[in-house]
Every structure is written in structure tokens, then in C-alpha cells.
Amino acid sequence: MGEGKQGELAVHTPKDLAHNPITQLQTKYKDLENGFKSWLAKQSLPVEAAVVTLTSAAQGAAMGGFMGTLTNDVSSAFPPTPPPGASINSQTMASFQQAQALAGGPLIQARNFAVMTGVNAGISCVMKRLRGKDDVQTSMVAAFGSGAMFSLVSGLGSPTQPANIITSGVFFALVQGGIFKIGEKFSKPSVEDVLYSETRSMLCNLGLQNYEKNFKKGLLTDTTLPLLTDSALRDVNIPPGPRLVILDHVQRNKEVKKQGRW
């Protein structure tokens, strides 16, 4: 019995888990993701915005295409749009357009979601780089842009296109702003986390978020970011590669040198 139990325990040892194909695949994917984020953080703003927009649009298209397959049968239940010569008021025509926009097939929904998610991610990327922070203003501006573009490409809403674009953008912005504030309310950071908010943002952008605990161990708070040196990072056991990436980011960031903040 004792040997049987030892054999069972051996199956769950870290060495065996390291050889698990699923674990290895997850590790490789994480390394690839971190490497991509690190590379992206070194690029110029136009390149970073373009890459983020395209990758997010591709993800949105995949999600929209999948949802379109689910709503394709539903769209057939809606009556076709009346011919141009038919006697129909503007409000009824807007209802037809809304139904078609929200219940289109896979290609239509893929297009709509690609535009919505791509524009949102692109604007967020630019706002974060220019303003140096991710807050409710950044979230609402990005949502306004995505809502306006979604309205433009989908034909959703009233016959007055400019007014509808603005209305859709404002609606998206208000919803996104509300969600952002609710999220903030239910995720109140501790006093310690507040001291490392900018550090956490930097590490996430560089794909090095695993080293946040090293910064906390060495008390390298946000105020020390402009003062970082290779020896300081080495003292908190950060490997040479990540040290070079962090220091390069600090040196290239003009805002850090001029204002002493991210």
C-alpha cells in the first residue's frame, strides 16, 4: 500500500508536471505573449497603434463571425426592408435598419465587431501612450470612437446619419464609463498597490508583470522609477534580459526624464 501511495504522489510532482504537454504549451504561449508585448513596447506610437488595432480587429472579427452564425437564423425572421417607393415613416425605416444591423449574418457581424474592437483598442493605445495612464477618460474616448464607427459601418439608427453617429458614440462612452467606475469601486487597491500603480502599468506594457513582486520586495515604488539602475534591479533578483528592457524603457521615455513620472 505504501509503495502504491508513493507512486500516486510521484505523478503529481513538479518534475512530472513540467513534462505535461498542456503545461509546456501554456508556458510557450506565455513566453511568446510576453515577448510580443516587450517588442511592441519598444515600437513607435504609429506602429504600436497599428499592430494593436489590427490584432484586436482580428479578434473582434472572429467573435463577430461566431455570433453571426448564431443570429443568422434569427435575421431571417425579420421582414425585408421596404422598397424605396413604399409609403413608410422614418421611424419604421430606422427600426428595419436596427434589426438588420443587430441580426446580420457571419460576414456582417464579423465586419461590425472588427471595426468596434479595433477602433476601441487603437484609440486606447494612443491615449495611454500620450497620457501615460489608463483611466475613465481614456476608456470613454475609446468607447465613443468605437460606437461612432460601429454606427457608421452598420447603418444602425435614425435616418440622420451624423446625429446618429454622435448619439451612438455618446451611448457607448457612457456605458463604458459606467462599467469602468463600477469596476474601480469593486476593486479598491490597497495602500501598497497604490504605491506601485505606475510600476505595474510599465511592467504589464513590457510583458514583465511577473517581476512586480521583485519591485515590492526592494521597495522600488513609483517614485523610484526615474532613478532605476542596473544594480538596483539586480539587487531584487531581476534577470539581465528584463533589466535591459526596463532600463531601455526608462531611458527612452522623455516624460520620465522631464517630469519624473510615467
Predicted confidence band of residue 2 (pLDDT cuts 50, 70, 90): very low
pLDDT at residue 175, as a whole number: 92
pLDDT at 194: 73
Nearest-angstrom CA–CA distance, 75 and 11 = 52
Instruction: Encode pLDDT of 214-235 as tens digits.
Output: 998 888 888 888 888 999 999 9
Mean pLDDT (whole number) for 18-25: 71
Query: Best-predicted range by mean pLDDT among 92-96, 198-202, 256-260?
Result: 198-202
Q: Which three cell numbers stand for residue 156?
A: 444602425
Distance CA 174, CA 210 (A): 34
Q: What is the pLDDT of residue 233?
A: 92
- Residue 255: the pLDDT is 57
Give 118-149 pLDDT, tens digit per residue: 999 999 999 888 887 788 899 999 999 998 99
Is residue 52 pLDDT above 70, yes or no? yes
Would you say 222 and 195 are in contact if contact means Cβ atoms under 8 Å apart? Answer: yes
Which residue's C-alpha cell is 517614485? 223
Nearest alpha carbon to residue 118 among 202, 86, 197, 126: 126
Q: How confident is the model at residue 17 (pLDDT cuts 50, 70, 90)?
A: very low
- What pLDDT, on the 0 to 100 scale, is given for residue 30? 79
Mean pLDDT of the chain: 77
Mean pLDDT over 87-109 rounds to 58
